[in-house]
Structure 1
Amino acid sequence: MRISLRLILIASVAACAPMLPEAPPVAPTPDPAAPPPAAPAAPATPAAGSGATPAPVVVDQAGFEGWKQGFLARHGGARRAEYERELAGLTPDPSVIRLDNNQPEFSRPAGAYVQSAASATRIAQGRARTDRVPWEVTQRFGVPTEILVSVWGNESAFGAIQGDYDVIRSLATLAYDGRRRDWAEGELKNALDIVVDGRRDRAGLKGSWAGAMGQTQFMPDAYLRLGVDQTGDGKVDIWGSDADALASAANLLARAGWKPGQTWGYEVVLPAGFDYAEAEGPRHPWRYWAQRGVALARGGAPNAAEAAEEAVILLPQGARGPAFLALPNHYVIRRYNNSVSYALAIGLTADGIAGKPGLVATWPDDAPLSRDQRIGAQRALTILGFDTQGIDGVVGANTRAALRRWQIAEGRLADGYLTADLADELIRRAN
């Protein structure tokens, strides 16, 4: 079955939570017949002590009401009265707009993000929970236990922190804000359908600021299409049931193309004189990379199936940081969240849970990029003739490709990595 484009879009917006506090100690697996305990919800406001106080976000209630009427006209149809009832009295949430502009997997250096997400404590907690993944799930979907446990831990601290935002309010706020209106309105309609159809009551439809729900943080569209009732009780309960949440995550990854018997990727060592412009470029089989002097950091070679796959060299923190050979399963993980840092965090956490050693290389201690620096660098590159395909503050593949073209034109090492100093230089040059 072809994977819908909407599944890909899940990745770019889901508010995953690798920076979560550590999970509580694992408890014995409960009696399957007993109802699962409700997981404590995360506070709806940012944690104290997280840095400078962000500028307040001002919202226009009259403008929001105008958007709401437009939404009902566009999407209400036969359910307009039911949708209107659920949206009655709703106000936009300023914290959602602020958080949408500062997603950590797109603003923090990859090393800081990955080291926090794939910590030794998180890995130990994951190992203690591998028996929570039903054997039937791994057999049916072909996704390894360690990958599912890694997703579970990084998304919600193993169900402990699922988010306490009103999903409908969050999605309405994102739609009103307009940066991704079509996507947000589609997800809002799906969330309203979940309530109207009786799949989940409104009070229980809680999630992250971006509308991601449950222990494995599914968007409403994914919940409706890919949710699995593993317990057979007639409901897809990704909030209270470990089995349903993990089976649903396995179904998403399997439908996105997970290749059983293959890993997500390997740390590699690049030879002196490596052409960094080839990173994050065309995909090639292992033979191609090996002929150019690329070697696995811990020796050996990929298995036969992996060696035959088209793979990419990734430099998530530039030429000074670790390098990776990204296999197809890396990109499957990115269907969950389309961030290199996120996918690396999932893969490296899973490796640790499976008992594999950590990285050989160390991560550089680079400063994070402010939103002004990210937007300024994108605008500067575009002004200088290197189009980033949008100025949105998200340093994704298009921005890195534009930066790499600029670096080549300037005769610099073309690793496509935007540092704070380089962002400032680009802004000065464009001005």
Structure 2
Amino acid sequence: MRLSLRLLLVGTVAACAPMLPEPPLPQIPPQTAPADQTPAPAPAPQAPPDQSYDQSGFEGWKQGFLARHGGARRAAYERELAGLAPDPTVIRLDRNQPEFSKPAGAYVANAVSASRIAQARQRVDRVPWEATQRYGVPAEILVSIWAQESSFGQVQGDNDVIRSLATLAYEGRRREWAEGQLKNALDIVVDGKRARSGLKGSWAGAMGQTQFMPDNYLRLGVDQNGDGKVDIWGSDADALASAANLLAQAGWKRGQSWGYEVVLPPGFDYAEAEGPRHPWSFWAARGVTLAGGGAPTEAEALEEAAILLPQGANGPAILALPNHYVIRRYNNSVSYALAIGLTADGVAGKPGLVARWPDDPPISRDQRINAQRALTQLGYDTQGVDGVIGANTRAALRRWQLANGRIADGYLTAALADELARRGG
């Protein structure tokens, strides 16, 4: 659906992997979603194997997958996987997701534009009123996800979902997750819910106008228009109601915001950011104020909230309420969740951020990997070296910053990555 997930348009929609537990995940270019949902008579033709990949190794993985997951459906799964070759583009994109490689400010500036907000505002009435009442998710949030995930249905992805997921499973970085999603995608085809030729989506396997992963399509897809099928590709109503159901099931707090921009006082202990969540009274007692003045609502003030520093101590500070984390069940990226929340605020006529984003350059994959490797070598375990700067890496960096007399904001810049690489040898 991260896949956000995974939301940047027409070539930069982010792959979303909704309803995933942390760690981070997962969105694409254009396609018109076919309406046909009858079973395909034969598997879709596959691209020839890329010679940089070991096809025999891929075949070995495939036989292992069939042994682990095939069961009574092994023959049907084997038929759909016949002639498949891994897609090298999927591997490249998986390692360079913009939500995790771009500075938050650059990502948000691209995603939260005046034109995007204006387009979303024009489409608010396309969100089914019944769905907003039933699930409690505001139309502004749903239309923002719709914008981010597929440019309102125009950019849904034309990748063979089964091939994409098989590639991710074969690569092995997230094998267990990818194999589970692949099994669900195969079931969609085998059970006749969608033809193989129409099972198109992002490089990460997210599908339709709101980029659902296969498991969420099966569990949370909604037939909002009552035509007897869940068509997240061709039906606005089905896609938006399905997204509302996903967020509701993830714990959306009806009537509450996703968060607020805040101003931190001089001498604020940045080590408390991205740490344990506390009610508003805790943060107010430490001198934190809302950037727009006033205070959270009574219900919001009782919620456990964290202070986020998406671009470090020099960028905007955010009070993240529970609904922020619900959005991250759609795509587990702070940048993605901020883009959705800020777009929704704009659609609702609320002002944008007061603080300016620092103009930090992007960090290359090599720099990110070297920084993770160096932190681990220096005794600050990042829980893996994969080039994705997620919560574990930021926590390790914050511990290193504390030990070295730095501002402990957990934010990795290109210069700091190079310094860590030198220190780590």
Task: Give TM-score scaled by structure 1 length.
Answer: 0.89
- Of residues 167, 170, 185, the one that matches 2:164 is 170
**Is 1:426 equivalent to 2:415 in the alignment?**
no
Alignment match, 1:384:
378
Inter-CA distance 125–22: structure 2 relative to 1 (3 Å threshold)? farther
Distance of 1:59 and 1:320 partners within structure 2: 43
Deviations 1:14-62 (A, max 9, x none): 1545311399xxxxxxxxxxxxxxx9518xxxxxxxxxxxxx9921111
Counterpart pick for 1:221 among 200, 215, 229: 215
Q: Which residue of 2 aligns with 1:199?
A: 193
Residue 350 of structure 2 aligns with which residue? Answer: 356
Tell me if structure 2 keeps the 8 A contact 1:57–1:97: no
1:275 partner letter: D
User: 1:299 maps to what in 2?
Assistant: 293
Say which SS state the counterpart of residue 209 (structure 2) adopts. coil
Deviations 1:142-172 (A, max 9, x none): 0000000000000000100000000000000
Provide the aligned length of Structure 1 versus Structure 2: 392
Give, in whole Å, the separation in 1 of the partners of 2:52 and 2:279. Answer: 51
How many Å separate the matches in 2 of 1:241 and 1:141? 18
- 2:395 aligned with 1:401, yes or no? yes
Counterpart Cα distance in 1 of 2:124 and 2:390: 33
| Aligned equivalent of 1:7 | none
Whole-angstrom CA distance in 1 between matches of 2:340 and 2:136: 17
Cα deviation, 1:62-108, whole Å, max 9, x if unaligned, reads: 11111111111111110111101101111111100111110010000
* Structure 1 partner of 2:9: 20
> Match for residue 282 of structure 2?
288
Could you tell me which residue of structure 1 aligns to residue 315 of structure 2? Answer: 321
Gaps of 5+ in 2: 13-28, 33-49
Query: Residue 416 of structure 1: CA displacement?
Result: 0.5
* Distance in 1 separating the partners of 2:320 and 2:51: 39
Distance in 2 between the 1:200 and 1:221 partners? 14
- Whole-angstrom distance in 2 between the partners of 1:291 and 1:179: 43
Q: How does 1:25-40 map to 2 (within 5 A)?
A: none
Contact 2:6 2:336 (C-alpha < 8 Å) held by counterparts = no
Question: Paired residue for 2:107?
Answer: 113
Aligned-partner residue type, residue 71 of structure 2? G
Once the two structures are superposed, what CA deviation does each residue of 1:225-249 show, in whole Å capped at 9, x if it has no partner? 0000001111000000000000000
CA contact (8 A) 1:57 1:98 kept: no
Which amino acid in structure 1 is aligned with residue 343 of structure 2? T
Distance 1:17 1:114 in 2: 13
Q: CA deviation at 1:392?
A: 1.1
User: In 2, Cα distance between the equivalents of 1:57 and 1:78?
Assistant: 33
- 1:272-309 CA distance string (max 9 Å, x none): 10000000001111011011110000100000000000
Out of 180, 184, 194, the position equivalent to 1:186 is 180
2:31 to 41, 44, 49: 41
* CA separation of 1:419 and 1:238: change in aligned 2, threshold 3 A: same
Which of 148, 163, 166 matches 2:142? 148
Q: Hey, what's the Cα distance between the residues in 1 that align with 2:62 and 2:232?
A: 29
Q: Do the aligned residues in 2 keep the contact of 1:15 with 1:208 (CA within 8 Å)?
A: no
Distance 2:223 2:369 in 1: 43
Q: TM-score, normalised by structure 2?
A: 0.90
The Cα RMSD (Å) is: 1.5
The residue that corresponds to 1:95 in the other structure is 89
Query: Letter of the aligned partner of 1:67 in structure 2?
Result: W
Task: Provide the rounded CA distance (Å) in 1 between the counterparts of 2:422 and 2:11.
Answer: 41
Residue equivalent to 2:38: none
